[in-house]
Structure 1
Amino acid sequence: MSDRPKIAVVIPCYRVRDKIVEVVKSVLAVADFVVAVDDCCPEKSGEFLRQARAEPKLTIVFHEQNQGVGGAMITGFKTALELGADIMVKMDGDGQMEAKHLPRLIAPLVSRQADFSKGNRFYDLRALRAMPFVRRFGNFGLTLLSKAASGFWHLSDPTNGYFALRANALRMLNFHLLAPRYFFEISLLIQLNVIRAIAIDVPIPAKYADENSSLSPMRALVTFPSKLAAGLVHRIWWRYFIYDINIVTVFLITGAFLFFGGGAFGVWRWSHNWMYGHEQSAGTVALAMLPMILGFQMLLQAVVLDMMDKPDAPISDLMETGE
């Protein structure tokens, strides 16, 4: 990366015809490239932007079929990499994300403190009170689940789509594992944790006007848990069984064996005695409970160690060595 990294702002466009021109105009002074992805928008936002704003920095890409915000971002990422960008910024086309905060967002990446930075609306209590209650409640519920799934226990506001990512970290990701639609941001965090990228929250308030959110946090709280569980299993498998094997691996295997083994034994003995009308002995109860308690403690210790496991340097810097 040169002394002055090249910045690309990627904007997924879907039903943002009324806002997209102003959004693009607001970032032209900061960005070296602006990539707008018309995700088969029924309002033809991309064509409207092409006719309204002719800029050498602006690249407009069209999808013949709607692929969701994740699909649009993957296309935008690939285009930005081809243009030679060093830092990619995601900014929605609905005007919620203000360009005046962009220098603050990319500052940790420019100074090489992190591979990934994300806006966090929860730092500003005034902005938090301005957030609609349904969004606030849904985001709080998703935050805890997303921390466990992604492994970034220090990050909050997981559905915030205002983020920046260094190109070298982006190149290490498996694009086919990124969710194509609304789970995209969280799936990106999971993949970043797998490669041991350094991620950081940046206090950035969001503004809420007359725009309609395509994602309902309450709906996400109902539909996301299964995806979060799958993401957690994927992350644990790759982090602690493929890329590395350490004490967390030992605690996970031993803790799971003791906890579920003790539970299975207890269920078997309870069902057997229930069928024949026998009382459980104290020894039988102990044989079931003690392994479960020890297993739970080991699993809990694995969680603590997972929270403490942080890389020493941005993976993007390590990838530049020898280039």
Structure 2
Amino acid sequence: MTEASNKSSIAVVIPCYQVRDHIEGVLDAIPNYVDGIFCIDDACPDKSGDFIEKTSIDNRVTVLRHSCNKGVGGAMITGFDAASKAGYDIAVKIDGDGQMDPDLICKFVAPIVSGDADYTKGNRFWDSRSVAEMPKVRLFGNAVLGFMSKFSSGYWRVMDPTNGFLAIHLSVFDLLDTSKIASNYFFESDMLFRLNLVRAVVLDIPMQAKYGDEVSNLKIHKILFPFLLGHGKNSFKRFIYNYFLRDFSLASLEFILGPLLVCFGAFFGAWHWYLSAFEGQQATSGQVMLAALPMIVGLQLILSALNFDITNEPKLPIHRLMKRDW
């Protein structure tokens, strides 16, 4: 860690659910520069919290318990909230199954400490070697989900949205409405959407995917449609809030007129195609142009609005503007 990092206190948050066989090794591997560790027993049937309290001699460890299972997102929110109330500056979330290397924590924290980001997350797609080693179902699933996440979150340069290795400045976390963040496996993607609403800067951290013989938890047929629905809702809410409530610009008009023109041209053309095919009424050149031109202009407006949205990604970390002692 750099000298600057010593000015910031760092907490690690570990959701614990059926990780009893791995959690001891994870805790032993957490670096010394980490100031606090919060382990959340998410109503674990293996009683991970009791096991940690009996076996761990690390005085940095605090065990928190849920009376009922709230999911990995709910456990993360509990840990981040506890770290914020305890006065820590930055919180890092890692899993308790041993698949995330604690030695990488410094890479996730460094951009936040230097003031270059509010939130950092892992990206397993950065290295072509890592992609080649990734199971094909994970590769396909994460690619599809990553593309959908770009629309819903507004972070067009961020990939691998389901990656759970992440860090956040807690002054930014305090700005989020945590009661609305998804508590299931959609929480990483939902976090990005919530972060965009407060204009937080998000940065990808390259990391290598390590997959052995473990069975993938990513069941495409089970999560694709729920994730698609979640991304669709978030996309709609983000565009309404960013382009019609908080601000109104030329892109706002383009987002309205573009789809309207495309729909008008498509319906007008389809109707006259029907009349030509089944009623014998030949379409005139004017009718053809009246169908084609709105679609062309509308598509250009949509592309222009999307280009504005891409370039409008947050660039100034908001935690630098917050009054918080370091």
Among 185, 189, 210, the residue aligned to 2:188: 185
Report Cα offsets for 1:230-262 as digits up to 9, x if no partner.
111111111111222122212111212222233
Partner of 1:69: 72
Shift of 1:322: 11
Name whichever of 197-206 and 47-56 sits farther off. Answer: 47-56
* Structure 2 CA distance for partners of 1:217 and 1:80, relative to 1, 3 Å: farther
Matched, 1:25 2:6: no
Whether contact under 8 Å (2:36, 2:60) holds in the other structure is: yes
AA in 1 matched with 2:125: F
Q: Residues 73-84 of structure 1 correspond to what in structure 2 (within 5 A)?
A: 73-84=76-87
Matched, 1:104 2:107: yes
Whether contact under 8 Å (2:11, 2:88) holds in the other structure is: yes
Whether contact under 8 Å (2:171, 2:322) holds in the other structure is: yes
Identity of aligned residues (%): 41
Partner of 2:211: 208
Partner of 1:153: 156
Whether contact under 8 Å (2:141, 2:218) holds in the other structure is: no
Shift of 1:320: 2.5
Report Cα offsets for 1:143-194 as digits up to 9, x if no partner.
2222222111111111111011111211111212211101110111111112
Partner of 1:93: 96
Whether contact under 8 Å (2:13, 2:91) holds in the other structure is: yes
Report Cα offsets for 1:259-290 as digits up to 9, x if no partner.
22333333444556666442322222222221
Matched, 1:292 2:305: no
Distance in 1 of aligned mates of 2:299 and 2:155: 22
Whether contact under 8 Å (1:135, 1:218) holds in the other structure is: no
Ranges in structure 1 where 5+ consecutive residues have no aligned partner:
none
**Structure 2 length normalisation: TM-score?**
0.91
Shift of 1:46: 1.6
Paired residue secondary structure (1:123): coil
* Structure 2 CA distance for partners of 1:75 and 1:94, relative to 1, 3 Å: same
Whether contact under 8 Å (2:10, 2:88) holds in the other structure is: yes
Distance in 2 of aligned mates of 1:275 and 1:319: 66
**Structure 1 length normalisation: TM-score?**
0.92
* Structure 2 CA distance for partners of 1:165 and 1:218, relative to 1, 3 Å: farther
How many residue pairs were aligned? 323
Report Cα offsets for 1:278-323 as digits up to 9, x if no partner.
2322222222221121111101111111111133421111222899
Shift of 1:209: 3.4
Matched, 1:131 2:134: yes
Among 121, 125, 131, the residue aligned to 2:124: 121
Ranges in structure 2 where 5+ consecutive residues have no aligned partner:
none
Shift of 1:121: 1.4
* Structure 2 CA distance for partners of 1:272 and 1:171, relative to 1, 3 Å: farther
* Structure 2 CA distance for partners of 1:179 and 1:87, relative to 1, 3 Å: same
Whether contact under 8 Å (2:138, 2:218) holds in the other structure is: no
Shift of 1:210: 5.0
